[in-house]
Amino acid sequence: MTWFDLLVVAVLAASTAFAVVRGALKEIGTLVVLGGGAAAGWFLAKPVAAAFGAGASFLTLAAFGGVIALVAFLGLYFLLHAGLRRLPLKGASKRTDRIAGGVFGFARGLALIGLGFLAYSYYLDEARRPTAVNKALTLPLAKVAAAFFESFAPPSAGDLDGEGPKAGANENAAADGYGRGDRAALAEIVSTVTTSDDAPPPAAAPATGDAIASALSELDSE
């Protein structure tokens, strides 16, 4: 095992254990509350900033949105816990809540690993990664998790193994393929060339030779 394997195992174990202790209701409820706070900050930032007479710059809206999101999150979080206190779980229901929380925590750990490895792959291509990453036993798991989120990325984004031809000899470039960004750029170039209007034919030069010959023949006849 390498340090990359230890990191993956640590993230999965910590996320799963934390979710088991809290239970599925608290974990899912916290996620919903977090989404509610983010939505409040997104939709209310501009109206609140306008009410205070502030400008509509990005930094101003970001500051108002952050404050609104934090206040909304704290308020909704308080309401969530107040409601859960009135819904005590005992026996089988509590055990089911803990098991479901563990499943949720494991899925959350996979999501964190996938997002982290996706960002790492865009930053550092496969040829430049350390051996501890390329030889890790959990590398396929990280790639699968990252590929799930990569499927939502725009076509111009690079592949998990880096943009451009994969590491290796030049003769393997055609077999291995190119990065998604290169393929999109090439397709755009081909589309531009094949759909461009044909250039109009050059205008025919005036028949100056015939006019001169006619003028000379008239002079000879005189």
168 φ, ψ to 5°?
A: 145, -170
Q: What is the DSSP letter of 1?
A: -
As a whole number, mean pLDDT of residues 5-15 equals 96
Neighbouring C-alpha atoms within 13 Å toward the C-beta of 31:
11
Split at pLDDT 50, 70, 90, the class of 106 is very high
- Tell me the per-residue pLDDT of 144-201, one tens digit each, with 9 for 90 and over: 999 998 888 776 555 555 544 444 444 444 444 455 556 566 666 766 666 555 555 5
Confidence (pLDDT) at 201: 56
- At 118, is the secondary structure helix, strand, or coil? helix
Residue in this structure with the two tokens 């109206």, named with its chain if needed: 47
Residue 187 parent element (H or E): helix 180-195
Neighbouring C-alpha atoms within 13 Å toward the C-beta of 83:
11
Task: Report how far apart, in Å, the C-alpha atoms of 41 and of each of 44, 64, 124 are.
Answer: 5, 7, 33
Torsion of CA 26, 27, 31, 32, to 10 degrees: -40
Confidence (pLDDT) at 210: 59
- Tell me the per-residue pLDDT of 72-91, one tens digit each, with 9 for 90 and over: 999 999 999 898 888 888 88
As a whole number, mean pLDDT of residues 23-41 equals 93
Mean pLDDT over the full length of the chain: 80
- Tell me the per-residue pLDDT of 168-177, one tens digit each, with 9 for 90 and over: 444 444 444 4
Confidence (pLDDT) at 8: 95
Strand positions, DSSP E, the chain: none
